[in-house]
Amino acid sequence: MKAGYIQLLSSAGLSGAALLIPNMLRDELGANTMEIGIITASFNLALFLSSYIFGRASDVHGRKLYLQGGLALTAIALFLLIFANSKETIAVVRVMIGLCAGIYPSALLTYVYEAEGKIGKFTAYGSLGFGIGTFIAGMLTIYYEIFLASGLMLLAAYFISTRLMFVGEKVHQVPLFPAAMIRHNYPVYLSIMFRHTGANMIWVVYPLFLADLGATPLFIGFVYGINAVGQYVFMRFIDRFKTYHLVLAGFFFSIITFPSYTLATRPEEIIPMQVSIAAAWSCLYIGSIKYLMERNDEKGTSSGLLQSFLSISAIIGALVGGVTVFALGYHGSMYIATGLAIIGFVVFIIGNSFMSKKEKGVIAPKGV
């Protein structure tokens, strides 16, 4: 339960701090969508590097240091947002947050999996935290108050982490660049990268899309909250399903949801899509994590690599999405996202089939 509270508070703090930054950059500091995309991509580049480095480090050295240190440093970085008053300073602090926020998730996830064996209910706390954080941000609306509240939530998560018991941890020798692990898990890594690139083309300016439909900051927080609460509900009950079916369901719901956003003409019409996208991410993320945990002993590294691939997707999606919206509008990015989700769906089916045959010996290894 302590780990669940850490997941909830850390997710709430990070999501709350990030929610209205695109609006702040555009409305208060005069940034255009391309600049917003670059700043978002910079955050995700930092998260990409940090997730891989410290995911591997938690396998090699153990979980405790990286879990507790990462939470403490993330809290400090969030407090620094209070003093950011220009596009440049926001960009620098967001990079710092990305570096810090990538330190602890793999350590926490592996701790839970090794202690309990199931991650669906634990991950659901993260989704609930996402909803709480975005709702608080939409309710407060004053930027420095949002950043203060976010930092306090990460600080509380740190103090809870000091009460966890780390007993009998397993450490592993992991190469600096685990090429074999990437090849072993590429059906998930590559397919989710395509899908999530498309998703981030939408999410990078999603608060602006909602605002242009007429949504208030409070309603924007409410919309994000629906997604998060939906994920919380779905994730608590889908651990029982087979990994393969979960991943396929995640792609299916993504493919039908992304283009449906183009049909909305008023803010309230977004609500059904938020429930659908909640089902999509719940199935896809839990399915992907289970795929990695079931197939790898180096759980910190394999899950850290997943976060790194998600971050690569966020970098590409933020950059391409900012330019696409600038050139083609919101709907253009949504249609491209649909196409990328279809590609990811095909990649997973073909890749998983190939790896299954290879593992069963149907396809002989090279040199045989």
Predicted confidence (pLDDT) at residue 84 exceeds the cutoff of 90: no
Residue 213 CB neighbours (<10 A):
18
Classify domain 2-162+179-359 at the CATH superfamily level: MFS general substrate transporter like domains (1.20.1250.20)
Q: What are phi and psi of 31, to 5 degrees?
A: -75, 145
pLDDT of residue 116: 66
Length of the chain equals 368
Distant-in-sequence, close-in-space partners of 242: CB < 8 Å, separation ≥ 6:
none
- Which range (19-28, 57-66, 69-78, 94-103) has the least confidence? 57-66
Q: How confident is the model at residue 281 (pLDDT cuts 50, 70, 90)?
A: very high
How high is the mean pLDDT of the chain?
A: 86
pLDDT of residue 364: 43
145 versus 345: the higher-pLDDT residue is 345
Predicted confidence (pLDDT) at residue 4 exceeds the cutoff of 90: no
> In this predicted model, what pLDDT tens digit does every residue of 143-165 receive, in sequence order?
888 999 999 999 999 999 998 87
Name the residue ranges covered by the structural domains of the chain.
2-162+179-359
Exposure string over 292-308, b if 16+ CB within 10 A, otherwise e: bbebbebbbbbbbbbbb
Q: Give me the mean pLDDT over the 256-283 stretch.
A: 94
Contact 285, 122 (CB under 8 A): no
Token code pair at residue 310: 């998600």
For the chain, percent of residues with pLDDT exceeding 70: 93
117 backbone φψ class: left, alpha, beta (φ>0; ψ -120 to 50): left
> In this predicted model, what pLDDT tens digit does every residue of 328-344 receive, in sequence order?
888 999 999 999 999 99
Predicted confidence (pLDDT) at residue 363 exceeds the cutoff of 60: no
Q: How confident is the model at residue 246 (pLDDT cuts 50, 70, 90)?
A: very high
Query: Within the chain, where are the H helices?
Result: 2-19, 21-23, 33-61, 64-80, 87-101, 105-116, 120-140, 143-161, 179-184, 186-203, 206-213, 217-235, 243-257, 271-295, 299-359
> In this predicted model, what pLDDT tens digit does every residue of 93-109 receive, in sequence order?
999 999 999 999 888 88
